[in-house]
Structure 1
Amino acid sequence: MINKLVKFMLIAVMLSNTFLLDAITPTPDQIEQFKNLPPAQQKLLAKQLGINLDDLNLTGSPQKLPDVPPVVTPRKLNSQQAVDDIYNLKQNENLGNEEKALLPFGYDLFAGEPTSFTPVTEIPIPAEYVVGPGDEIIIQLFGKENETLNLLVNRNGKIQFPNLGPISVSGLTFDDVRNLLKKRIKNQMIGVDSSISLGELRSMRVFVLGEAYKPGSYEVSSLSTITNVLFVSGGIKEIGSLRNIQLKRKGKLIENFDLYDLLLKGDTSNDKRLLPGDVVFIPSATRKIAVKGEVTRPAIYEFKKGEKIKDLLQMFGGLKSSANVKSVQLNRINKQHVREVFTLNLNDPTDLKIKLKNGDELEIGAISDYVNQTVKLTGAATRDGLYRWHEGMKVSDIIRNLNTDVLKITDLGYSIIVREINHQHDIKVIQFSLAKALENKQDEKFNPTLNSHDELILFSNLQTTRKNGIKQKIAEGEITDQAFARNKHIDETITFDKDDFSREALLHSVLDKLQRQRSVGAPYQVTTLAGEVKFPGDYPLPTNSKISDLILAGGGLKDSAYALSAEVTRTYTKKSEHVSIRHINIDLDGAFKHLAKDDLVLQSRDVVTVRIKPEWNEVSTVEIKGEVLFPGKYVIQRGETLSQLIKRAGGVTDLAYLKGAVFLRTELKQKEVNLLREMQQKLKAEIAAESIGGGSSNIVASKKNNALTLVDEIDSTQALGRLVIDLPKIINDPQQHDLILKNGDALVIPPNSQTISVIGQVQQPTSHIFNRNIDVTKYIRMSGGITEQADDDRIYVIKANGAVMMPSDNRWFSSNKSKLEAGDTIIVPLDTAYSRPLQLWTSVTQIIYQSAVAIATITRI
């Protein structure tokens, strides 16, 4: 006892002096000496020296790593990345939404990009956990003593319990350790109870080898299992096996882990906990099969030796309801290394017992879209779609009530039944009236009996045709209404809105089928209705259809139709195979009365034309503005003239400037639009040519900028459709100079003008008070003179009536003073030789100036 006391005092003196010298930073030797002291003496000495025992790591256990979870960022599999790249490329090339390639099953579960190898410790600890060196045991004492102890298991497998001494815990389960400590505390520390848990757990080093994404050595938690280290290592390469993951310990195989048990069944019973030094080895996959088609999970699957088709069914999750189980294709490489195809029936137990082979491909196709015993309702119906067919079914069995079963826009006078007539899916068409079908339910003539797979098509009484991709051509006048009515062939694909129930939309597929089935001996069963009917166009030709039926199909006659007669154009093929055409005039009234001589039975390619009434004209309106007594819009009759319109408007006022009148015509406006668009395209082409050509880069850039500015000006130029007229002559001598009006014409008569304008390449474009004694040169001088870029040889004048007066020689200004009048505009153009500008500039700028002058006149009203 005396020796121990002396030893303690000597160590205390030595440590105290050393600690003071080292600023309370003990060396490893000092710590070792300190460890040899009993716990009570360690605590006393630490208190004297002001040292925290927790900072000295007295147990000699391995240093703990910070408790930071490993970071594993998601990654794409190589095959997934390749598929996405190809898919995105196809999407960019507008190749459509094609089915993606098959991916290997299961590899994406663990696919990650590990960025930290720190072990995870925040995991619930099972009672069977085996305690070992490096684990921390937390003991909370309460009762007579209240204290929390954090004790580490040292290399010897013991914990240093104050007042109780060292206790061996290594190799015991956590449950056993807890019971042991509770018992010791209860027996040796009277009046003290305890709560015991595990704190920080020891880490251990294991190996992940083989076809791991990042093979190597990993420091993981002592609670880690096979799946934990697979995740930490980034997963498995696509050439690795998911079904034969091997756990090896000291060179011996401990477990073969099949990841499919986890993926398909949620079974983790073989996901063994690892020990220090364990090796998780991932061999290469040697047996794979591709499964595609109508299955729940199409993918590439790995299979084990001896597995069969029935085992594969469990892997891909079963079949879709649309799968054709009686005709499954198995593609297999035979012994001669040639592919063979076998047809399997998955309802046949014999086929289910077929063993799988590496490289097999199993494709489960879909059942046919063919639906038996049905009738299809299409078009302007409340409930379109498929209806169950039964023997003796009629139209009235599907459309029972005109108030509830059809739309308000449904045409009750014209509907058709499309019926397949043979195995080649050739069709014929039956025409009927929906209103008469419901009025005469017992009459087969009006209420036709339906066959299985008939299609019943109801049309709207509106012609709302939509053709995507050709709107621009319509706007530019390349495709006319007549071309639409005749279903003119165009290069673009025609698509229709799903709610478009017009004849054009719903008959398109029917006419297409009739076109495809035409042949020698089977003529094209289509007729054409043209002229003054509501819906002109091509129509399918029903058996024994007559002229009255075709006109009914076209919605009936317009009010403009000449109802006394019509013309049938019929094509004949002679015995010599020569084709001739004959025109037949028929009495429309007789046709509507179903007289045989007039209501002719139609033939293939007949064209029925309903003429317009003689002298018929839709209401035409014109507008007159400005200096007339009664400006406004007027309805005109065919052949009415401009002078007559002015008289109807009360004549011109005393302030009217007749020479400056602006006359606008709609058809000319469209021509101007087309001309401006054409010039804009040509100008862009010249810009490109100038950019490619040689010359100073500064000059080219300057010319290009000027030209681009001109292109923008064309965009902002308003096309008016101005027609140059001499209004004084029209009023004074209408017999010689009068103008016949057209629908949409407009006349603007401005008030008297006292100014003349100078614009273009002058220093100060402006307007001046008109003076008969001042010539063009002086007006230009009054505007500051011409600029450096001006072309003084091509100065011209836009007269008040819109006419352009060009120079005849260099002295034309001074010798023709009288030609200048109030309201005129002097234009000083850009020199076409200045910096070699584009050739179109002169023409384009002249059009822009003319438009600007006309707009200025109109805005004065």
Structure 2
Amino acid sequence: MRKQFARVVLWLFLLGGPAVYAQSGMTDSQVIEYVQQALQQGKDQQTIAMELLSKGATQEQLLRLKSQYSGAATSGSSSSQAGEGGAVQDTGTRARKTTVANATDGEAALEGANTDEMKETMKKRQELKVSTASENGVFGRNIFNIDKLTFQPNLNMATPENYRLGPGDEVIVDVWGASQNTMRLEVSPDGYVNIANLGPVYLNNMTIKDARQLLKQELGKIYADSANNIQVTLGNIRTIQVNVMGEVRAPGTYALSSLSTVFHALYASGGVSDIGSLRNVQVARGGKTIARLDVYEYIMKGQIQDDIRLQDGDVVIVPTYDELVKITGKVKRPMFYEMKNGESAATLLKYAGGFSSDAYKKSIRVLRKDGKEFSVKTVDDMHYSAFKLIDGDVVTVDSILNRFNNRLEVKGAVYHPGVFELSGSLNTVRQLVEKADGLLGDAFTGRAVLYRERENLTKEVLPVDIEGILKGTSPDIALQKNDILYIPSIHDLQDMGKVTISGEVNKPGSYTYADHMSLEDLVITAGGLKESASLVRVDVSRRIRDPKGTTEPDMIGQNFSFGLKDGFVVDGEAGFELQPYDQVFVRRSPSYTEQVNVTVDGEVLYRGEYTLSTKSERLSSLIQRAGGVSRYAYVRGAKLRRVANEEELRRMEDVVKMVRREIGETLATSLGLKVDSTFTVGIDLEAALANPGGDADLVLREGDVLTVPEYNNTVKVNGAVMMPNTVSYAKGKSVKYYLSQAGGYSANAKKSQRFIIYMNGQVAEVKGSGKKQIEPGCEIVVPNKTKKFNFATVVSNATSFASLATMLASLATMMK
């Protein structure tokens, strides 16, 4: 009792601080409570571990609790030493000190979950779940491997009257009335219970009913008053030892509840093995077989009367199966089934759930091994109950034919086309048309087509005079199975085509042709004319069609031109009607022009957008309309930003591809090499203002942005120099002077190919000393030495005044 008390206290300590882990089907507290109850029932380590795993506990959780358990023992030992000098107020701490000495049993129970045998059993349990879910699984074999079907006895139910007491069972005796007393009596290993003032009473192997009568009789000697009432019930039940042998996945000795049945014993042992039998499970008691269980009776009918309650020392034996038969094809549950000797094909079909809806039920095919070779047997439906199956048979149920025995179909110009039944009241063409609610208005009644299937499954076509049949002037035609009647529409026989309209209309596209469709009709259907449409030029093109022609024509198309007013034809062929496949082109008026805007920014009096007055308006005109430049303007540094048109974008894309090939995709990507929609045009605004209309006075176009900067009195030095720098502009100084301000040339400088980039986007090669070439705001670039033109160097040197888009545009211009 002291050991049991210490064990309970330890589990109560563990209950104080467990966390719930999401990956487990049981909380820590549930695991601990279950272990506590199992220990009280006398279950061994393997049984406890397997039952925990089957209920959803994980190996990691059990190992963690085992480690926590061990830590509790260690900490309890040390705390007991420390506690000698001070009071320990925490109840859990006192409990830990009390239970250290008796922690071994609980720790060992958790330890058992990590054995190789248990791992293998659980692995096989999972594999069996997968295998039995397919056609290659054996029906019913996974019933003892399902976590939620444990067959565990209900310990809270009333004790059965035929339950036989044994050592370890607890009997509760309640006395009330004249006397009040409650006694909890445990049956000793010798089979006795010891009652105070009465002595031992032998209860071993008595049913609970007989034990109740005996105890009332014996207690009546003590409580003789007739006012006393005595009630005898069963408390804690004992644990029994059961051997599970034969073809199970984990044979051995199991400690089970005394209320456990054969099914629970099979579950505890991991279920039957791959060659184990579900149809002949045996229970031996005292050397004699007392029961034989057929698990299929439980699965199919729910019969559990054979699932007897086990007793201490019982042996559950699972022999090998007698017959294993497979059924495939059109049954509801195709898979392997275990059969008893002498069971028929009809029984197998019952086990398989019967035929599926598309099964051929007249016969089945059996593939059999006769000891020497394979043989095939065809079993007719009248012999299903008489045909006996043997081990290794493979039964196949075929599908019905993919054809109909009474199918008719009508297609085409009827109100309700579809499939109909060939019957006594529907077996002619006239009846079929009437069944489809008659002909549509566009039906072509001159001739229909009847597709008929011959006996050899080939097709033939029969002409049908629908008009004559419906009027009674032609004989009706008898129908056969699988006949298909097709009644065409006049639209099916005519190529009506479409008409197309494009150009300056609101909804260009293709439209369905209709008889007598005019040009005005099509224009209205297309949403009317746009504001930009020309009213004096609408063209129509037409195909050349001559069904009776025998020579190739000289003309390949006809063209017509029309003038419109308010959407109506006023100039052209009167009464002109469109034909299928006509194409209509509504031209854009040459006198229609949308506003073309440019922008001027920087040091001018009136910045902003301006609309060009003429297509030939130039830089000087724009500056004049903007009020001229301010006194702070640096006219020579003005630059023009231009939006690239489609042709320029295409050429720049070609340049980018060339550069990517030259420097490689990786470097080009790191440099951000891509086509920009705008680029800088090198201009000389000073020359343009001095000579309006001259060559320097560029013609503007839509989207241009002219920027006039402030005066910038610096010069930037970049490229292959010792220290790139920006220095003050000094009039009359040479290029060498500015290079010296950057530390001079670097070791890999290519001195002969120096160039200057000006603020306006122009680029010039340095000639001589370059004194006359240096201007405020410019940039001097010294390229690196390379065996060939290095695009990467050029790109890295393209800074504030020369963008990548400008370089690409310049290269594209050279490639033009």
Do they fold alike, i.e. is TM over 0.5?
A: yes
Cα distance, 1:230 vs. partner? 4.5
Hey, what does 2:164 align to over in structure 1? 131
**Aligned with 2:695 (options 719, 731, 736):** 736
Return the alpha-carbon distance in structure 1 between the equivalents of residues 603 and 378 of structure 2. 90
* 2:720 is the alignment partner of 1:748: no
User: Any conservation in 2 of the 1:329–1:364 contact (CA below 8 Å)?
Assistant: no
**Aligned with 2:626 (options 649, 661, 667):** 649
Residues 624 and 792 of structure 1: CA distance in aligned 2, closer, same or farther (over 3 Å): same
Hey, what does 1:52 align to over in structure 2? none
> Sequence identity of aligned pairs in percent?
21
* 2:592 is the alignment partner of 1:610: no
* 2:49 is the alignment partner of 1:71: no
Hey, what does 2:643 align to over in structure 1? 665
Residues 63 and 332 of structure 1: CA distance in aligned 2, closer, same or farther (over 3 Å): closer
Q: Deviations over 1:675-717 (max 9, x none)?
A: 7974796589565xxxxxxxxxxxxxxxxxxx4xx63341799
Cα distance, 1:137 vs. partner? 0.8
Hey, what does 2:680 align to over in structure 1? 722
* 2:145 is the alignment partner of 1:172: no
Cα distance, 1:673 vs. partner? 8.3
Residues 607 and 684 of structure 1: CA distance in aligned 2, closer, same or farther (over 3 Å): farther
In angstroms, what is the RMSD of aligned CA positions? 6.0
User: Any conservation in 2 of the 1:102–1:290 contact (CA below 8 Å)?
Assistant: no
Cα distance, 1:764 vs. partner? 4.6
Q: How many matched pairs?
A: 603
User: Any conservation in 2 of the 1:663–1:724 contact (CA below 8 Å)?
Assistant: no
**Aligned with 2:241 (options 199, 204, 208):** 204
One-letter amino acid of the structure 2 residue matched with residue 667 of structure 1: N
Hey, what does 1:822 align to over in structure 2? 776
Question: After superposition, where does 1:377-776 map in structure 2 within 5 Å?
Answer: 525=497, 528-537=500-509, 551=523, 554-563=526-535, 564-570=537-543, 575=550, 581-587=556-562, 589=564, 598-603=576-581, 606-636=582-612, 639-643=615-619, 644-658=621-635, 659-667=637-645, 674=653, 678=657, 682=661, 707=667, 711-714=669-672, 720-731=678-689, 732-760=691-719, 762=721, 764-776=723-735
* Partner secondary structure for residue 324 of structure 2: coil
Return the alpha-carbon distance in structure 1 between the equivalents of residues 568 and 201 of structure 2. 116
Residues 351 and 121 of structure 1: CA distance in aligned 2, closer, same or farther (over 3 Å): closer
Give ranges in structure 1 of 5+ residues lacking alignment.
1-23, 25-60, 85-99, 376-388, 396-420, 424-452, 454-513, 688-706, 856-861
Return the alpha-carbon distance in structure 2 between the equivalents of residues 222 and 815 of structure 1. 113
Cα distance, 1:150 vs. partner? 5.2
Residues 571 and 721 of structure 1: CA distance in aligned 2, closer, same or farther (over 3 Å): farther
Hey, what does 1:779 align to over in structure 2? 738
Cα distance, 1:127 vs. partner? 1.3
User: Any conservation in 1 of the 2:244–2:316 contact (CA below 8 Å)?
Assistant: yes
User: Any conservation in 2 of the 1:288–1:358 contact (CA below 8 Å)?
Assistant: yes
Q: Which structure: larger Rg?
A: 2
Return the alpha-carbon distance in structure 2 between the equivalents of residues 82 and 831 of structure 1. 73
Return the alpha-carbon distance in structure 1 between the equivalents of residues 383 and 598 of structure 2. 84
Q: Deviations over 1:231-280 (max 9, x none)?
A: 4344567x668963634436758334345854x76664554444521124
Return the alpha-carbon distance in structure 2 between the equivalents of residues 197 and 235 of structure 1. 31
Cα distance, 1:653 vs. partner? 2.6
Cα distance, 1:641 vs. partner? 3.0
Cα distance, 1:665 vs. partner? 0.9
Cα distance, 1:839 vs. partner? 6.1
Q: Give me the TM-score of the superposition, normalised by structure 2.
A: 0.57
Q: Deviations over 1:477-504 (max 9, x none)?
A: xxxxxxxxxxxxxxxxxxxxxxxxxxxx
Residues 301 and 332 of structure 1: CA distance in aligned 2, closer, same or farther (over 3 Å): same
Return the alpha-carbon distance in structure 2 between the equivalents of residues 170 and 151 of structure 1. 11
**Aligned with 1:289 (options 327, 330, 347):** 327
Return the alpha-carbon distance in structure 2 between the equivalents of residues 607 and 339 of structure 1. 71
* Partner secondary structure for residue 772 of structure 2: helix
User: Any conservation in 2 of the 1:765–1:783 contact (CA below 8 Å)?
Assistant: yes
Q: Deviations over 1:443-495 (max 9, x none)?
A: xxxxxxxxxx9xxxxxxxxxxxxxxxxxxxxxxxxxxxxxxxxxxxxxxxxxx
* Partner secondary structure for residue 669 of structure 2: helix
Residues 845 and 597 of structure 1: CA distance in aligned 2, closer, same or farther (over 3 Å): farther
Residues 79 and 252 of structure 1: CA distance in aligned 2, closer, same or farther (over 3 Å): closer
Residues 331 and 612 of structure 1: CA distance in aligned 2, closer, same or farther (over 3 Å): farther
Return the alpha-carbon distance in structure 2 between the equivalents of residues 230 and 722 of structure 1. 88
Hey, what does 1:246 align to over in structure 2? 281
Return the alpha-carbon distance in structure 2 between the equivalents of residues 579 and 248 of structure 1. 104
User: Any conservation in 1 of the 2:171–2:185 contact (CA below 8 Å)?
Assistant: yes
User: Any conservation in 2 of the 1:719–1:851 contact (CA below 8 Å)?
Assistant: no
Residues 62 and 640 of structure 1: CA distance in aligned 2, closer, same or farther (over 3 Å): closer
Residues 134 and 338 of structure 1: CA distance in aligned 2, closer, same or farther (over 3 Å): same
User: Any conservation in 1 of the 2:172–2:233 contact (CA below 8 Å)?
Assistant: yes
**Aligned with 2:758 (options 799, 819, 822):** 799
User: Any conservation in 2 of the 1:119–1:220 contact (CA below 8 Å)?
Assistant: no
Return the alpha-carbon distance in structure 2 between the equivalents of residues 422 and 804 of structure 1. 83
User: Any conservation in 2 of the 1:248–1:254 contact (CA below 8 Å)?
Assistant: yes
Residues 123 and 146 of structure 1: CA distance in aligned 2, closer, same or farther (over 3 Å): closer
* 2:219 is the alignment partner of 1:181: no
User: Any conservation in 1 of the 2:760–2:801 contact (CA below 8 Å)?
Assistant: no
* Partner secondary structure for residue 779 of structure 1: helix
Hey, what does 1:222 align to over in structure 2? 258
Cα distance, 1:754 vs. partner? 1.7
One-letter amino acid of the structure 2 residue matched with residue 616 of structure 1: Y
One-letter amino acid of the structure 2 residue matched with residue 71 of structure 1: L
Q: Deviations over 1:807-852 (max 9, x none)?
A: 5xxxx4x52222122222233455557xx9x965235435677665
Return the alpha-carbon distance in structure 2 between the equivalents of residues 267 and 394 of structure 1. 64
Q: Deviations over 1:276-326 (max 9, x none)?
A: 21124573873333468xx9x87647486545599669838x98xxxx769
User: Any conservation in 1 of the 2:42–2:255 contact (CA below 8 Å)?
Assistant: no
Return the alpha-carbon distance in structure 2 between the equivalents of residues 180 and 199 of structure 1. 20
* Partner secondary structure for residue 728 of structure 1: helix
Residues 537 and 226 of structure 1: CA distance in aligned 2, closer, same or farther (over 3 Å): farther
Residues 714 and 393 of structure 1: CA distance in aligned 2, closer, same or farther (over 3 Å): farther
Hey, what does 1:151 align to over in structure 2? 186
User: Any conservation in 2 of the 1:240–1:283 contact (CA below 8 Å)?
Assistant: yes
Return the alpha-carbon distance in structure 1 between the equivalents of residues 500 and 701 of structure 2. 31
Residues 743 and 306 of structure 1: CA distance in aligned 2, closer, same or farther (over 3 Å): farther
User: Any conservation in 2 of the 1:102–1:298 contact (CA below 8 Å)?
Assistant: no
Return the alpha-carbon distance in structure 2 between the equivalents of residues 540 and 106 of structure 1. 65
One-letter amino acid of the structure 2 residue matched with residue 201 of structure 1: R
The range that moved more, 330-339 or 626-635, is: 330-339
Q: Give me the TM-score of the superposition, normalised by structure 1.
A: 0.55
Hey, what does 1:463 align to over in structure 2? none
Cα distance, 1:612 vs. partner? 1.9
Residues 183 and 712 of structure 1: CA distance in aligned 2, closer, same or farther (over 3 Å): farther
* 2:290 is the alignment partner of 1:257: no
Cα distance, 1:761 vs. partner? 5.2
